[in-house]
Amino acid sequence: MWLVPKDTTGRTARHPIPDSLKQGLIRWYTGKGSEADHRASVSLVVTARENHKWIACDCRPANDPPALLSPAYLSFQETYYLRRLTSRPQHKRNCPFYMPQAPQRLRETTKDALYEVNPPKGLFLAHQKAPEKLAQKPLDTDPDDRSRGVAIPRLARLLWQLVEAAQTNVIRALPPSGRAEHSISAEMARLRKASHDFQIAPGIALSDHIYTTAIDFEKKRTHARLRAAAETWPEDYAPQAFLLLEANEISSSEIVTGLGTIEIRNRIQHTGIIRAEVQPPFLVLAVVGEHSKREGYRALRAYAQPVLSGNEFIPTDREDDRSLLRTLQATQSMLHSGGIKLAIKKLVFDIQTKQGSVRPDFMLAFHDTETGAEGYAAVQVLRSHDPNYLQLRQLEYERLIAAWPTISLALEHFDANLIAEEIASILEQRKGGGDA
């Protein structure tokens, strides 16, 4: 098998695919693959797609034009797969690619890889010393099975970990009177406070090398402080600092903030599913380090996370997440006038339950100030009517409902009144049935 330029007959500019990878690809295509086959295959398909390649099969005689496979992405299932190009020469009948690709299996083991997105392990670290970089796979990305092989940048995991620790992914219950106050400085203060609990190298707190405005970087204060710290930095670790910025615009390699623009050495990363779909603002985490002695300290890489607004740093993966959160805030106001407090959380990592790992779209916590009843509910939003998609979400629903009361709604039925009624009814049951 070969990678070949797309839109060609597949007879020229061939790049051979190693046999071991081909065997893994066949197992994956026919629905028999292991997790490792799945990862290797998705990585091949993603690489082919990004480099405008097709895959030419070797089942036909050497002098014939080959049968071709095109790497494809099914957006509503967040799945990569191989599409046969049926207007081209056919695969031999006994070729594993003669038939369409088998549907990808639901992975129902206890250590479930279907939804799982875990926090990164170890240090808050996004830049390694050069020799290590050569010896092992770079830290840039980890496979993300939530989106079936879309790689999650390491910086994304680190940012989410910080967000989770700072709880900026929570819309807190409204104060007893008046409106909720939001400000960028309050959000940044929460994140800064959380940064004391992370280490970027043994003995070095993230809080010592994190900056929340572009000015510190532009004035080279970031650099000076890092240079001074580098003298005593633990030997096996690369000195690094982090910029945590609210951006009203990003280009492929520039972060535009209200207080200046920062150029990133590499292309700014996003999660695959949201590319080009979600509008600003963003919360951006960038790592500053030394790529080479000659270049000195530079902002090397960055991850841009869309957030609800410039002063509410709740991660939003899709454009409709913002309107869903606004709807939940409307629910919050409605319940508030009836004496029910509601807090809303957007999850950034999975929750482990007895049924396996799950990640509802939102978790709600509520408390009736009059009766004292309180409870939780998971919220699941169904964004497509595709049968395969609904089957996956049904599996998720069964896990959710085993753990919490669960409100499952199609996107078009997501309504503040409806959710308020559901919550009131859960509280009513709590009151009647005692504590649960």
What minimum distance in Å lies between the beta carbon of 27 and Zn ion? 15
CA end-to-end span of the chain, whole Å?
Answer: 58
Q: How far apart are CA 51 and CA 69, in angstroms?
A: 14
Which CB, 97 or 160, lies closer to Zn ion? Answer: 97
Q: Which is nearer to Zn ion, 57 or 328 (CB)?
A: 57
* Residue 316 · residue 278 · CB < 8 Å: yes
Exposed / middle / buried, residue 194 (Cβ in 10 Å: 0-12, 13-18, 19+): buried
Measured CA to CA, the distance from residue 387 to residue 375 in angstroms comes to 32
Kindly tell me which of 53 and 91 has the beta carbon lying closer to Zn ion: 91
Least distance in Å: CB of 3 to Zn ion?
A: 15
Least CB distance to Zn ion at residue 22 (A): 11
- Name residues whose C-beta falls within 8 Å of residue 427's C-beta, 6 or more positions apart in sequence: 340, 366, 368, 371, 373, 374, 375
> C-beta of 84: minimal distance to Zn ion in Å?
9
Angle between helices 19-29 and 35-50 (to 10 degrees): 100
Question: Which residue, 60 or 227, is less far from Zn ion as judged by CB?
Answer: 60
Q: Closer CB to Zn ion, residue 91 or residue 393?
A: 91
Do residues 363 and 379 touch, judged by C-beta distance below 8 A? yes
Minimum separation from the CB atom of position 91 to Zn ion (A):
3
Residues in the chain: 436
Residue with tokens 């009814």: 425
Residue 314 CB contacts under 8 Å (≥ 6 apart), including other chains = 168, 169, 170, 171, 307, 308, 325, 346
**Least CB distance from residue 65 to Zn ion, whole Å?**
12
Nearest CB to Zn ion, comparing residues 98 and 389: 98
SS3 at position 344: strand
Q: Which residues contact Zn ion by CB under 5 A?
A: 57, 59, 67, 91, 95, 97
> How far apart are CB 60 and Zn ion at their closest, in Å?
7
Looking at the Cβ atoms of 75 and 86, the one nearer to Zn ion is 86
